[in-house]
């Protein structure tokens, strides 16, 4: 099938859409990606990219059309708003000026980890080419905006809700990574038959058991807890640092943080001010190819989300990668993510924002026999293979694409 994928974020930025594109191409799909100039998470353009281009790229044989946008800067305030809307505008122009009907697109797939505004150029493409659009909602708007206090104005939240309702109305299918999202999507006027469960998966690098990966870093001796991913407001890094402070006297317990994000500078400053440099270590942003090695080196993997209605419905994308790795998991979150960790037997959970419980769970896991931790890892890996393996998830997307195309053709 000839697919148009619209996403604000794409390689060399590190998002799961990269792996999805590779997987779909390997299954024989002909793909064009419409995206922006890479600038996430640092907020500055990657080397070789910028407002002067390049305007076309190739990613493992996939055609990538790039549009200008304003970089996100520190990911706050006006800079972030301009980043979101600049791609909505340039992406829309890209649909009109850079895509052709003769390209023969048969379906549109939209990647929406945030912002929802990526749906504007996607809706325009759907109207122009009269083809079905599948919209993968990974972040609930406007709920997530209010949960992190990014927007407090009821008038602005109401405007965002109207935009969300319009974008959803343009979709042929809305895909959700958590079944708990479904009532929230229906609340915006979407009929139940348009909503499909489409979960995250562990990227290709994790399909081989990460415990067999090569350790690529010389880490400190002791019990090492790895946090991998974005360091943002939603991930509640403040509570992680509080837990580390409660265990400050245990110099054999180390917190390894691999990633960057809008709260990164604050986190580093806080660690210094609390005198935690010996036990909290920042590894910086690491390429996906290194992650199986980082997982192999760690003793446990940490996943966190802030408390909040929208976050309790969310299954963080990294959870599937953690499960696939066969390592025990420490979870500080509520709702669906905590349910999966508990149901799978993959690790220990505590409520979102509860640094005392997290510290207690870290101590408990550090004192466990290695065989018990290995059993937790095996439980997580087995659960992943039954529910979230790459082949299972991609098979379901292939079926969705085909069925949506057939149903759209019948209507036309």
**Averaged confidence pLDDT in the chain:** 92
Confirm whether 138 is domain-assigned. yes
30 and 138 inside one domain: yes
Is there a single domain that holds both residue 175 and residue 314?
A: no
Closest CA to 69 of 306, 58, 255, 52: 52
| pLDDT number for residue 308 | 85
Both 94 and 222 in a single domain? no
pLDDT at 64 over 70: yes
pLDDT digits (tens, 9 = 90+) for 304-335: 999 988 888 989 989 999 999 999 999 999 99
Q: Are residues 373 and 310 in the same domain?
A: yes
> Helices in 27-173 by DSSP H: which ranges?
77-97, 119-129, 143-147, 154-169
Q: Is the pLDDT of residue 70 over 50?
A: yes
- What distances in angstroms separate CA 239 from CA 44, 102, 162, 236, one per listed residue? 28, 53, 34, 6
Residue 212 has pLDDT above 60, yes or no: no
Q: What is the domain extent for residue 243?
A: 206-387
Residues 170, 290: one domain? no
Residues 367 and 400 in one domain: no
Q: Is residue 49 located within the same domain as residue 186?
A: yes
- What is the pLDDT averaged over residues 121-132? 97
Residue 412 included in any domain:
no
Q: What does residue 369 show for φ and ψ, rounded to 5 degrees?
A: -65, 145
Return the CATH number at 304: 3.40.50.2000
Q: What is the pLDDT of residue 287?
A: 85
Mean pLDDT to the nearest integer, 19-29: 95
CA distance 189 to 370: 50
Q: pLDDT value at position 103?
A: 93
Q: How many helices (H) and strands (E) does the chain have?
A: 15, 14
Span 38-52, pLDDT tens digits: 999 889 999 999 999
Overall domain count for the chain: 2
User: Does residue 412 carry a pLDDT above 50?
Assistant: no
Do 140 and 249 lie in a common domain? no
In a domain, 410, yes or no: no
362 falls within a domain: yes
Distances (CA, A) of 36 to 18, 39, 104, 117, 367: 14, 9, 22, 13, 47
Contacts of 104 (CB under 8 A, 6+ apart): 2
Element (H, E) at 346: none
More confident residue, 282 or 405: 282
State whether 281 and 197 are in the same domain.
no
| Two tokens, residue 337 | 């993510």
Q: What is the pLDDT of residue 254?
A: 98
In the predicted structure, residue 342 carries a pLDDT above the cut 90: yes
Q: Check whether residue 88 and residue 233 sit in a common domain.
A: no
Position 411 in a domain: no
Q: What is the pLDDT of residues 345-381, one digit of tens each?
A: 999 999 999 999 999 999 999 999 999 999 999 999 9
Residue reference for tokens 């070789």? 48
Residues 192, 121: one domain? Answer: yes
In a domain, 132, yes or no: yes
Residue 136 lies in a domain: yes
106 inside domain:
yes
* 254 and 187 within one domain: no
Q: List pLDDT tens digits, range 242-262.
A: 999 999 999 999 999 999 988
Structure tokens at 48: 């070789």
Residue linked to tokens 């057939």: 406
pTM: 0.85
**What's the pLDDT at 149?**
67
């Amino acid at each position: 099938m000839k697919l148009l994928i619209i996403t604000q974020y794409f390689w060399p930025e590190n998002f799961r859409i990269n792996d999805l594109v590779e997987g779909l191409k390997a299954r024989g799909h002909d793909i064009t990606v419409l995206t922006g100039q890479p600038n996430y998470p640092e907020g500055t353009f990657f080397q070789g990219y910028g407002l002067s281009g390049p305007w076309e790229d190739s990613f493992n044989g996939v055609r990538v059309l790039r549009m200008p946008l304003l970089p996100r800067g520190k990911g706050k305030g006006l800079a972030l708003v301009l980043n979101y809307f600049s791609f909505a505008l340039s992406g829309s122009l890209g649909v009109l000026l850079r895509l052709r009907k003769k390209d023969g697109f048969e379906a549109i797939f939209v990647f929406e980890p945030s912002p929802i505004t990526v749906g504007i150029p996607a809706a325009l493409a759907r109207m122009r080419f009269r083809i079905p659009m599948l919209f993968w909602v990974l972040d609930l708007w406007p709920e997530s905006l209010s949960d992190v206090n990014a927007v407090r104005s009821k008038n602005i939240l109401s405007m965002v809700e109207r935009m969300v309702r319009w974008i959803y109305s343009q979709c042929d299918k809305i895909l959700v990574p958590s079944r708990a999202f479904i009532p929230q999507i229906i609340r915006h006027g979407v009929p139940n038959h348009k909503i499909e469960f489409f979960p995250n998966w562990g990227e290709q690098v994790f399909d081989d058991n990460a415990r067999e990966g090569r350790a690529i870093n010389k880490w400190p001796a002791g019990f090492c807890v790895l946090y991998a991913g974005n360091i943002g407001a939603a991930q509640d890094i403040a509570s992680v640092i509080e837990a580390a402070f409660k265990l400050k006297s245990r110099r054999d317990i180390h917190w390894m943080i691999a990633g960057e994000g809008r709260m990164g500078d604050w986190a580093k400053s806080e660690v210094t001010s609390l005198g935690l440099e010996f036990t909290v270590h920042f590894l910086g942003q690491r390429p996906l190819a290194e992650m199986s090695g980082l997982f192999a080196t760690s003793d446990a993997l940490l996943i966190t989300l802030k408390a909040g209605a929208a976050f309790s419905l969310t299954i963080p994308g990294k959870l599937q990668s953690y499960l696939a790795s066969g390592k025990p998991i420490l979870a500080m979150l509520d709702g669906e993510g905590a349910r999966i960790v508990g149901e799978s037997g993959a690790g220990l959970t505590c409520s979102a924002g509860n640094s005392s419980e997290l510290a207690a769970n870290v101590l408990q896991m550090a004192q466990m026999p290695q065989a018990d931790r290995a059993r937790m890892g095996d439980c997580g890996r087995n659960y992943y293979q039954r529910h979230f393996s790459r082949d299972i998830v991609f098979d379901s997307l292939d079926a969705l694409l085909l069925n949506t195309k057939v149903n759209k053709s019948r209507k036309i």
